[in-house]
């Protein structure tokens, strides 16, 4: 009697729930396997849809690159999954990515997950389409023109030099990733949004913490209830908006008094006036938040990767110093850089390109299928999300031999545009290519010049484990000991 009771209890508490879960998973898979478009003869891509409703979102959030690598190894360059509440096809490889990026507005359209669209807002460049996208892009591009970049260089160099000097005098180790985020945040606040240095000092800690909270919850399940990721992300976003609104009001007042500003935020304000559009405070705040995200999160990731790769490859640091010494002997003033001098630093440019190849800060881009179409023998149903993978596409690119090795010299000889166009896409491609890529290149070159000429450094933990959330970062924050280069 006792044994039969025990077996019944075991059946009810363990076996039955497991069987129900397995049945639910099977029904979920069958539901989406029937979700294919019957008008298209091609099959759905291989893959799995994960748990009912949750899909494979939790696995992606927790495992990130490990999850993506496992999926690619199991299913190949095109596979289906279910992420952030939507059936999704993930795509890797130059030919497949080419088809997507050149099929913008015809096959696919840019569409980030619901949580991203909700937190960043509908008026951001990444969420606009058609003429609205073109108009806003033109306004932002003016802030990244050659003339504008030239004006930014002294302020960027000032901020980077102050940070690097601070690192060299610290007795304790520097956690590079958090420090880099603070540095790039200050630069973005000052250059892109026009905040005064004294304003940044007052609000920096609160703004950095709020921005970190927003970024942590940018990719979350689209459930807005207290304590959910989306709820916390929106709360942090609202605080950032309040500070940006204060700055916008100051800018409008100063502009009415005849004072001129050249930052990206001012360009957006001026653009709305030139086009006789009604001034929308909310739209400007959303665009400013997007600029802040794009202008500091990705550069902080890449600058951290630069410190890591150079720390692991001291011979590359020696070559960089040799290039800078030769340029100084030819009359270049490294203490007062300009665009012309930065463009002459060819090897430094190769180091940045190789870093972006191995650790692209943004792992991919989001699209939605406008109609059912075929890709490499599989159907992509209308309405499904499509993610093109930047990191995986770099991993499988045929033009890069010895992919695991950090070899900046591979970029000395420029590959043909046709062969490399979609095998190397750190800034995306097509009409949605990153608008701030030239700004990022300038900023990263200035950072390289300052850190290489001022510092010697040692990675205290060796090669770190890298994760993505939403940009690439070292799990241990890259603890590093900096010393003055002149003392070595």
Name the packing angle between helices 176-191 and 146-168 (round to 10°): 150
Q: Which two tokens stand for residue 311?
A: 């720390």
* Angle at 333 (CA atoms; ends 327, 338), nearest 5 degrees: 100
Name the packing angle between helices 437-454 and 346-358 (round to 10°): 110
Report the distance separating Cα 6 and Cα 3, nearest Å: 5
- β-pair partners for 367: 110, 386
> Is the previous residue joined to 470 through a cis bond, with omega within 30 degrees of 0?
yes
Is 12 known as a binding-site position?
Answer: no
Task: Note whether 97 and 388 are within 8 A (CB).
Answer: yes
Task: Note whether 178 and 307 are within 8 A (CB).
Answer: no
Edge-to-edge order in the sheet of strand 455-459: 174-175, 479-484, 455-459
Q: Which two tokens stand for residue 328?
A: 């100084």
3-state SS assignment for residue 259: coil
Name the nearest CA neighbour of 392 among 65, 57, 44, 60. 65
Q: Which two tokens stand for residue 152?
A: 């930014």
Instruction: Summarize the chain as % helix, strand, coil (round to 5).
Output: 60, 10, 30
Report the distance separating Cα 391 and Cα 426, nearest Å: 8
Question: Which H or E run contains 159?
Answer: helix 146-168
Q: Which two tokens stand for residue 114?
A: 């619901």
Report the distance separating Cα 184 and Cα 138, nearest Å: 24
Q: For 48, phi and psi rounded to 5 degrees?
A: -140, 155
Four-CA torsion 333, 335, 338, 340, nearest 10 degrees:
30
Q: Which two tokens stand for residue 452?
A: 């290489």
Q: Which two tokens stand for residue 224?
A: 């807005």
Name the packing angle between helices 281-292 and 229-256 (round to 10°): 110
Name the nearest CA neighbour of 300 among 474, 167, 450, 431. 474
The set of residues, in sequence order, having a beta carbon less than 8 Å from that of 4 and lying 6+ positions away, is none
Task: Note whether 428 and 360 are within 8 A (CB).
Answer: no
Q: Which two tokens stand for residue 47?
A: 């893959």
Which amino acids are annotated as binding site, given as ranges?
434
Which amino acids are annotated as binding site for heme, given as ranges?
434
């Amino acid at each position: 009697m006792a044994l039969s009771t025990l077996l019944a209890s075991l059946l009810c508490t363990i076996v039955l729930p497991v069987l129900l879960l397995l049945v639910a998973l099977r029904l979920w898979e069958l539901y989406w396997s029937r979700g294919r478009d019957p008008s298209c003869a091609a099959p759905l891509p291989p893959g799995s849809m994960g748990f009912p409703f949750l899909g494979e979102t939790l696995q992606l959030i927790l495992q990130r690159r490990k999850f993506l690598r496992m999926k690619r190894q199991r299913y190949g360059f095109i596979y289906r999954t279910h992420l952030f509440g939507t059936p999704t096809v993930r795509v890797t490889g130059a030919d497949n990515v080419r088809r997507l990026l050149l099929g913008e507005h015809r096959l696919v359209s840019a569409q980030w997950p619901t949580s991203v669209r909700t937190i960043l807002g509908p008026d951001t460049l990444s969420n606009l389409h058609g003429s609205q996208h073109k108009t806003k892009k033109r306004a932002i591009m003016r802030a990244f023109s050659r003339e504008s970049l030239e004006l930014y260089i002294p302020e960027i160099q000032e901020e980077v030099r102050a940070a690097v000097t601070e690192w060299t005098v610290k007795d304790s180790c520097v956690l590079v990733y958090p420090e880099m985020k603070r540095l790039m945040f200050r630069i973005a606040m000052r250059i892109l949004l026009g905040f005064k240095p004294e304003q940044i000092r007052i609000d920096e800690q609160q703004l950095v913490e709020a921005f970190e909270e927003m970024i942590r919850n940018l990719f979350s399940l689209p459930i807005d209830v207290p304590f959910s990721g989306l709820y916390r992300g929106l709360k942090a976003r609202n605080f950032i908006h309040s500070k940006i609104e204060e700055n916008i009001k100051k800018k409008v007042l100063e502009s009415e008094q005849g004072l001129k500003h050249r930052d990206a935020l001012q360009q957006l304000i001026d653009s709305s006036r030139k086009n006789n559009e009604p001034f929308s405070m909310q739209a400007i705040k959303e665009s400013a938040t997007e600029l802040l995200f794009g202008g500091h999160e990705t550069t902080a990731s890449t600058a951290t990767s630069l410190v890591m790769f150079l720390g692991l490859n001291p011979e590359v640091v020696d070559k960089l110093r040799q290039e800078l010494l030769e340029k100084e002997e030819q009359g270049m003033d490294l203490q007062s850089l300009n665009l012309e001098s930065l463009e002459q630093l060819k090897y430094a440019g190769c180091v940045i390109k190789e870093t972006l190849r191995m650790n692209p800060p943004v792992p991919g881009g989001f699209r939605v299928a406008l109609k059912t179409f075929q890709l490499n023998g599989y159907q992509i149903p209308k309405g499904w999300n499509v993610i093109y993978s930047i990191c995986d596409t770099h991993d499988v690119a045929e033009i890069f031999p010895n992919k695991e090795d950090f070899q900046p010299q591979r970029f000395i000889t420029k590959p043909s545009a046709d062969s490399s166009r979609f095998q190397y896409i750190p800034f995306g491609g097509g009409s949605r290519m990153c608008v701030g890529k030239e700004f990022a290149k300038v900023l990263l070159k200035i950072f390289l010049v300052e850190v290489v000429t001022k510092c010697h450094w040692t990675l205290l933990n060796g090669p770190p484990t890298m994760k993505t959330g939403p940009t690439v970062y070292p799990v241990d924050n890259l603890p590093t000991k900096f010393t003055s280069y002149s003392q070595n």
